[in-house]
Amino acid sequence: MSTTFQANLTDTEYNGWANYETWNVALWIQNDRSLYEIARECGDYQSFCDYVGSNAKTGDGVKYNDPKVNVIELNSDVFDF
């Protein structure tokens, strides 16, 4: 088990991702087969959010359309098929 520590109060990165919300969304999309297949069909994060709906959440309760989610990072790192 590894632990991520915040280096200082302005350090908002989480496990190499922009923040917790972005990391959590990426984790669920990349590790849930049905979400991954939907993501592949959609091709980009905005289309994915439109498909799953405005109230959809990860298994950990993060809304896919949370404004904290870094869409640019997800498009380049998760939706790069």
One pLDDT digit (tens) per residue for the chain, 81 residues: 555 555 555 556 999 999 999 999 999 999 999 999 999 999 999 999 999 999 999 999 999 999 999 999 999 999 998
CA distance 74 to 37: 15
pLDDT of residue 81: 80
pLDDT tens for 52-64 read 999 999 999 999 9
Side chain identity, residue 61: G
Q: Which of 68, 63, 62, 67 is nearest to 19 (CA)?
A: 68
Dist CA 45 CA 57 (whole Å): 14
Angle subtended by helix axes 33-42 and 45-52, to nearest 10:
120
